[in-house]
Every structure is written in structure tokens, then in C-alpha cells.
Structure 1
Amino acid sequence: MDLEVPAPTLGDSASDPQWGGDLVMTQSFPETIYHYTSASGLRGILSSGILFFTDSQFLNDRSERKNFYQLLADRLKGWVPDMKEVLEHRYFGRQSSVLRSLSMAEPADQGASRYFVLSCSQEKDSLPMWNYYTRGARAAGYNIHFSTRALVKQLQEHPLIQRINCQPRILCGRVIYEDKEKELGLEGLLQEISQKWREKQDERYREELLLRADLAFEKMSLFYKDQAFAHEKEIRIVIPSDNRQIHSLSEDNDESPYRFREVRGAQVPYLALDVLEKGTAITGVTAGPALDEEIAVKGVEYMLYCYGFPQTCKVSAVPLRY
């Protein structure tokens, strides 16, 4: 059974429940999703119950979020004159900060949006995904099976999510790679903006409409990726926030959930959330194809038992020798 989530909509006001719900997405997505990770990543997740949500500005796609705005720029070239001029000036004019902020938001800009991403996959046994973890003689990977409903529920109820006060609090959905599907989604949103723009001439109403369009575009941009990454079949869970809320986490007396880790020499910001209740969200583990079957399965089963998770482990069916 798929977990159904509502499509993005502008709503009729900033407080419209259609716009302020917990889940925003364009599609349904599977009952089980798979998080690919290293051996040390698996051990860290199982031993601590903590998941890392990476700042979207530091993900592996260099065109992250820019892909959407390039599509928007291309679509506006043939759009209706009144909205074309307004949106082109707002997003792509000389004074626009949209694309600059996407390249890298300034840390001191307290109102700048921040998005933290957990990347999973629809694919339970994908050779391209395993290849991320089999690049050396001693390298190997695993994927963790998550119950989508259980994971989302635990995130919705997490006190940190409540604290950083985002609306919507969680974004969930399938990443879109195909240009035609991207264009259809964008076209629907532009049609809605244009229709509402023509309904009223009131300047205040139109400014509010544009602010809601800003948010809708931001959210949609998180789920549009370059087609080169289509093999990932990614499902994303995203925590939206802003610099003000994120920086406030550093004031905690205990260890802050806002942290940094080194990735290929770069310092990458992330949120660390202890969301994995024992025996609920994790339903199993698959060991990568480069691992010895008997040792890999037995080792993970001992680890799952030790940390209170279901003892379900198998080895990838991909016939990879090395």
C-alpha cells in the first residue's frame, strides 16, 4: 500500500491548511524505502538510533535545486505577458537574489531558508547504488529498510521538528528526473499562479501570492534533479527551516543536533535526529554484493539483536564478484 501525500498547492491564504500540512509532495511513494550506507554508517545508525539529514546545499548533485529554476526560466520565455514579466524580474532580474542564494546562502542571513535531506531509494537491490560503496578492496555497503509510515510518524512527533517551527514541518516524496514530468508539474503550478493573479488587482493580495509562489517553487526545486541521477530512484524526506532556527540549536547546553562532518575534505552541515524507536521504523538490512554472505548476514543479525531491531538480514542478489 502506498503512502498518499497531497500535491503542492498555493492555497487561498498563507494559513490555508492545504499549504500548511505536514506532508507535501507530488506523488505517492512505497511502503518500504531503502537507505544505502557504509559499514560504519550502518553501525552508527543502529547503535545510536540517529539519522543524519544533510544540508541540501551540500548534496552530491552540483545542479541541486538549480535544475528547477533553469526549467522555470525556460518555461517563462513562452508564458503569458503579465506573469512572464513579473516572475522573470523576481527570479532572474539583475537585483534578484534567488539564484545567488541557491549557490550558497549567507550564514549571517537569519531569514535564509535551510533544507536538510535524508536520501533513500525505491530500489531494494541496485547495482549503481552499491557501486557508491564498492570503490576499494575493503569497501562494502549496506542498505537499511525503513517502514515509510513509521519513519514519517516518528519525525512528525519529534520535539526538534516541533521546535524549529517549520510549515510544512516535513516534506516527503519521490525525486523527479524526466523532463516531461517536471514540465507537467511546473505547468500546473504556473497555471494556478496565473489564475489567482488575474482574480484580483489588489497589490497586497498579489504580493502575498508571490510570497506563496516563492515557497512553492522552493519546495518543488528540492524534488527536481538532473536525469544523470535517475538510477538512484530517490525518495527524499526533507526538514525545512531557516538560519535563525538552526543557529538557535547551537545555544543548547547539551550537544547540538546541528553539526558538521567531513566529506572528502569539505565541512558539511547536517541535523542529527534520534528518531529510530526500537523495532518500528527499521524492518531489515541488506548487505552489499561484495560481502561474504555468511559472515555479513551473521554479523548484522547479531548487531540488530543487540540494538533491539528486527533480525532480518540478507545479502544482495546482484552477482558481483569484485
Structure 2
Amino acid sequence: MFDFVPQRPIPQEQDSAIRVAVWTLMSEAYRDVQLPQTLYHYTDAGGLKGIVESGLLRATHLAFMNGASEYLHAVSLLAQEIDKALLIESDPLRICLLKEVKDPVALAGPQHVGPYFVSCLSSEENSLNQWRAYGRGEGGYSIGFDLVKLNHHVLGLDGVLAPVIYEPSRQLALVQKLLQWGLSEYQKVAGTIPANDRDEHRRDWAHMFLWRATAAAPLIKNPAFVEEREWRIIFRPAWKEQVRLLPRSTGLAPFVELKLGTAAAEISSERLKHLGRASLPDRLPITKLWSGPGRATDTSLLADRTLLEQMGYDGVFLEASKIPFRVG
């Protein structure tokens, strides 16, 4: 996955311009989306316990999620726009850049996905579809995070928190804007590069542009999933050593652990001794916890409150889902 990371840097000011433009265009794609106060992460009992006791959220490599197909869909949109542009472009510099990015985009497959790691949330707090998909039906949880505080921590990790784009017209518009910006920007930059160095610079600039621009791909998802109202944390680790590997029935799945909380309040060494810990984990911006539908949805909140209070969480609102649920 790290093979896709550019090995030769381009001038810092050029890289910064690409990076700012990509994030700006991504932001514009959901500028009119109403921001919720809370985002929810659906999980099972083991997931809840692991998140609260570690103070961490996991982000899984995109190729090992259902999102891998969406990534390739986004890449195919870009490939189509490149072919269209080649038919109408007349500027030699822009044509050279299009040809430079055409093959890497056209030949991209799941094995070519860069180190993009994703953690999924939803603006829906009590969704039957989400309970079934991520809470394993019965005994699931929906952990509510304060959006503003969560986004603050994501930005601190140089990541992005954004809603998924489901509408095909918006998906296409984002891809088109990214490509057109890249063509215009390269046209300006290439004019400052000596002719003898231009071919090498173009290869490096194109690689960096693709590397930055494909960060938008995890935000594109099939419209059939629109009811999930999904938001995604997108993170790119700086080093391979940040990646952990989780054994699954299908093989190893890469993931990273995201520190998205603040230091917990200190408690006595005696209390820590009973918990078997040297300190409390970071306190994530959790404001609400739903217990999912099932036979023990009300009573499970007793244990949930204990877990939260043990780990330094006070004032979390607890609620039990009343969605009818049939067991067996």
C-alpha cells in the first residue's frame, strides 16, 4: 500500500498548493450539508469495551472495507474524465499531464489503493439498518461523539472528517473540479521549470497530485447506501510502523489506532490498582450511548454506565433503543 506514496518530493510550495486545493474542493462538495451535533459509531459489546478502555478509535485500510469498490468507482470516474479531456485539450502542457496520469489511473485495482484508513460514523443515532449491519443485530451499541470536538482532534492528526457523497452528480462534479484544477495548476507551474527538467518534474508532480487527490475517493459511495447517512474519518499514516494487523478469517486486515481524546482526570493509585491499570486512557468526546435493540437493551445500560464511569466518563447520556426486535 505504501508503494503508492511519492518517493521523490516536489517543491514544498507546489505540494502545499495541491494539498490545500484538494481539501478545499472536498469541503465545497458538502458545504450545504446540515451539520449534526453528534456522530454515531455502531459497534458490538467488544467494540464498545475496547474503545472506552483504550481511548482509541480504529480506522481500517480502505481496501479491506466495502468502501474498496467505491474507491475504484471514484477512480473510474477520473479515468473517464481524463479520456474526455484528451479529446478536447489543445495545450501541450495539459495534454502531457493527462497522458502522465492516464495509465496509473486506468490500471488501478484494489491492490493499488494507497494507505488510506477509514473510521465510519453516522448522523443516525438509532437506525435499524445500522444495528443489523454493525451491531450484529442484538447487543449492539451506538456511541455518540460530539462533532465539533471530534473534528478538532481529527484535524490535529492531519486527517479529515467529512460526510459521504452519495449523489452521482456531486461525485462527478468533485472529480471534474479536481482534474480541472490539476490541469490549470500544472500549466502554471510547468512554465517555471527549465525545459530539460520538465519531463522528470511532470512525473513527480503528477504522482503527488494523484496521491493527494485520491484522498477524496473514500468519500464517494454507492447511492443505495444513502440511508446510512455516513461520515468518515480519513487518515493517512506517516510511517508503516503505525499500521497494525488484525487476523480475520480471510487473512490479515491492516488498521491504525487514532488518538482522538484528551487526557483523563487523575485518580488515586488505589483505584487504578483495582482497575489493573497504571493510568486512565484518553477521554474521547463521547456524549451519548445507545444500547441496541434486543432482549437486554435496558439492563445492559447498568454495565455500560459502570464501564464509562470507571474510565473517567461522567455525564454521558444513556438511552435504550425501543425498536422491536425478534430473536431467532
What secondary structure is seen at the aligned counterpart in 2 of 1:225? coil
Q: Which one has the largest radius of gyration?
A: 2
Amino acid at match of 2:121: C
Q: How many residues align?
A: 280
1:173 aligns with 2:162: yes
What TM-score, normalized to structure 1?
0.74
1:143 corresponds to which residue? Answer: 142
Amino acid at match of 1:48: S
Q: Could you tell me which of 281, 299, 302 is aligned with 2:306?
A: 302
CA distance change for structure 1 residues 179 and 147 in 2, over 3 Å: closer, same or farther?
A: same
Amino acid at match of 2:144: H
What TM-score, normalized to structure 2?
0.73
What secondary structure is seen at the aligned counterpart in 2 of 1:14? helix
5+ long unaligned stretches in structure 1: 1-10, 106-111, 162-168, 250-256
2:287 corresponds to which residue? Answer: 283
CA distance change for structure 1 residues 63 and 18 in 2, over 3 Å: closer, same or farther?
A: closer
CA distance change for structure 1 residues 67 and 87 in 2, over 3 Å: closer, same or farther?
A: farther
Q: How does 1:103-114 map to 2 (within 5 A)?
A: 103-105=110-112, 113-114=114-115
CA distance change for structure 1 residues 133 and 215 in 2, over 3 Å: closer, same or farther?
A: closer
User: 1:62 & 1:154 partners in 2: Cα distance?
Assistant: 25
1:186 corresponds to which residue? Answer: 175
CA distance change for structure 1 residues 124 and 12 in 2, over 3 Å: closer, same or farther?
A: same
Q: CA RMSD in A?
A: 3.3
Q: How does 1:145-294 map to 2 (within 5 A)?
A: 145-157=144-156, 161=157, 169-199=158-188, 202=191, 204=193, 207=202, 210-241=206-237, 245-246=239-240, 249=241, 258-277=243-262, 278=264, 281-294=285-298
Is the contact between residue 160 and residue 235 of structure 2 (CA under 8 Å) also seen in structure 1? yes
5+ long unaligned stretches in structure 2: 1-11, 265-282
CA distance change for structure 1 residues 20 and 213 in 2, over 3 Å: closer, same or farther?
A: closer
2:5 corresponds to which residue? Answer: none
User: 2:22 & 2:183 partners in 1: Cα distance?
Assistant: 23
User: 1:240 & 1:134 partners in 2: Cα distance?
Assistant: 27
User: 1:196 & 1:22 partners in 2: Cα distance?
Assistant: 15
User: 2:136 & 2:235 partners in 1: Cα distance?
Assistant: 31
2:30 corresponds to which residue? Answer: 27
CA distance change for structure 1 residues 124 and 47 in 2, over 3 Å: closer, same or farther?
A: same
User: 1:147 & 1:186 partners in 2: Cα distance?
Assistant: 30
Is the contact between residue 22 and residue 156 of structure 1 (CA under 8 Å) also seen in structure 2? no
What secondary structure is seen at the aligned counterpart in 2 of 1:15? helix
Amino acid at match of 1:104: Q
User: 2:100 & 2:228 partners in 1: Cα distance?
Assistant: 33
User: 2:129 & 2:168 partners in 1: Cα distance?
Assistant: 22
What secondary structure is seen at the aligned counterpart in 2 of 1:120? strand
- 1:260 is displaced (CA, Å) by 1.3
Percent identical among aligned pairs is 24
Higher helix share: 2
Is the contact between residue 73 and residue 88 of structure 1 (CA under 8 Å) also seen in structure 2? no
**More displaced, 40-49 or 21-30?**
21-30
